């Protein structure tokens, strides 16, 4: 297996606590919830950020974790790589252009392996609906305690609805103040129709000064200040 290093980020205590709460909630969903998909209504609500942090956090508990970037249309996970070259990813593997072992990378985070999306294919939906994808998830299930899947937004493209049936549970990320109630409900309904249980909703980018009353109802997150500071 090839190896990469993720950029090391010290999360502020407050944010780490939020991620730990989400991790605990996932664990309490039951031992049978191993393959977990993250999706959202639209782009940019925080799926990839949250999926990566949760995957890292689970690996800290001595769990073997595989993080799979299934957002074949738009992947930013690769921007988190500090060292190492990524040559192959999920799209290469699904199109039969590389072996499974060449698409999965060991990382500098103990017990965390990652598969990047690979080049944007012309037919992402077809690739994700194929037998090869199903079999890949089954073999990851054997080799890892958790498989965290970062998927495209269910409110925009069909991919997440195709991926959900091979997962044990889904998590819907909702960006606070951006998504209308009706849109959130229709995205949730799409997830419900897949038959895979929705484990929870993450209300992300919460402005606690403005919207304190929502906090506690969902797995609230307080990333905003930290990320704003880092983007300046
Ligand atoms: N809680 C948060 N507070 C503030 N900024 C955040 C938070 N979570 C994520 N972000 C920022 O929002 C942007 C989008 O996040 P991210 O890439 O994780 O979203 P995404 O849902 O995976 O998007 P896409 O659908 O485009 O893949 C990034 O710049 C990220 O740093
Ligand atoms: Mg993303």
* Among the ranges given (70-74, 132-136, 141-145), the one the predictor scored with the smallest mean pLDDT: 70-74
Using the Cα atoms of residue 59, residue 14, residue 52 and residue 23 in order, give the sign of their dihedral.
Answer: positive
Mutating to test ligand 1, I would choose from 17, 19, 40, 44 the residue with most ligand atoms within 8 A of its C-beta, which is 44
Using the Cα atoms of residue 30, residue 32, residue 37 and residue 39 in order, give the sign of their dihedral.
Answer: negative
Write down the mean pLDDT value for the chain: 89
Q: In angstroms, what is the C-alpha Rg of the chain? A: 17
Q: What pLDDT shows up at residue 228?
A: 38
Q: What pLDDT shows up at residue 231?
A: 37
Q: What pLDDT shows up at residue 129?
A: 97
Q: What pLDDT shows up at residue 76?
A: 80
Q: Is the CB of 45 under 6 A from ligand 1?
A: yes
Domain limits, the chain: 2-7+19-231
Q: What pLDDT shows up at residue 14?
A: 79
Q: What pLDDT shows up at residue 210?
A: 63
Mutating to test ligand 1, I would choose from 7, 21, 39, 46 the residue with most ligand atoms within 8 A of its C-beta, which is 46
Triad 184, 25, 167: Cα angle to 5°: 65
Instruction: Please give the backbone phi and psi of residue 63, each rounded to the nearest 5 degrees, phi first.
Output: -95, 140
Look at ligand 1, atom 31, and give the residue with the nearest C-alpha. 227
pTM exceeding the 0.85 threshold for the entire prediction: yes
Whether the per-residue pLDDT at 9 is higher than 90: the answer is no
**What is the distance in A from the centroid of ligand 2 to the CA of 97?**
24
Give the mean model confidence (pLDDT) for residues 149-165. 97
**What is the distance in A from the centroid of ligand 2 to the CA of 212?**
26
Give per-residue pLDDT as tens, 70-107. 999 887 888 899 999 999 999 999 999 999 999 999 99
Q: What pLDDT shows up at residue 217?
A: 36
Whether the per-residue pLDDT at 8 is higher than 90: the answer is no
Closest ligand 1 atom to residue 152 Cα is 25
The pLDDT confidence band at residue 1, using thresholds 50, 70 and 90, is confident
Q: Is the CB of 194 under 6 A from ligand 1?
A: no
Domain spanning 2-7+19-231: CATH superfamily:
P-loop containing nucleotide triphosphate hydrolases (3.40.50.300)
The pLDDT confidence band at residue 66, using thresholds 50, 70 and 90, is very high
Q: Is the CB of 219 under 6 A from ligand 1?
A: no
Q: Is the CB of 168 under 6 A from ligand 1?
A: no
Q: Is the CB of 204 under 6 A from ligand 1?
A: yes
Token couple for 182: 């009706």
């Amino acid at each position: 297996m090839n190896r990469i290093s993720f950029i090391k980020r010290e999360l502020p205590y407050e944010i780490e606590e939020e991620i730990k709460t989400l991790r605990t909630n996932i664990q309490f969903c039951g031992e049978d919830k191993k393959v977990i998909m993250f999706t959202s209504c639209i782009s940019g609500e925080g799926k990839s950020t949250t999926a990566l942090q949760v995957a890292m956090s689970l690996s800290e508990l001595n769990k073997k974790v595989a993080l799979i970037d299934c957002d074949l249309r738009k992947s930013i996970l690769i921007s988190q790589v500090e060292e190492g070259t990524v040559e192959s990813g999920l799209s290469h593997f699904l199109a039969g252009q590389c072996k499974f072992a060449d698409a999965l990378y060991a990382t500098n985070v103990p017990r965390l392996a990652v598969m990047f999306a690979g080049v944007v294919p012309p037919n992402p939906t077809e690739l994700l609906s194929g037998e090869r994808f199903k079999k890949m998830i089954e073999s990851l299930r054997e080799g890892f305690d958790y498989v965290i899947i970062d998927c495209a937004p269910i409110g925009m493209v069909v991919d997440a609805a195709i991926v959900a049936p091979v997962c044990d549970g889904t998590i819907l990320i909702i960006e606070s103040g951006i998504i209308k109630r009706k849109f959130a409900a229709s995205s949730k309904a799409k997830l419900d129709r897949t038959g895979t249980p929705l484990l929870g909703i993450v209300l992300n980018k919460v402005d606690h000064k403005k919207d304190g009353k929502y906090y506690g109802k969902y797995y609230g997150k307080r990333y905003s200040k930290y990320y704003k500071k880092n983007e300046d």
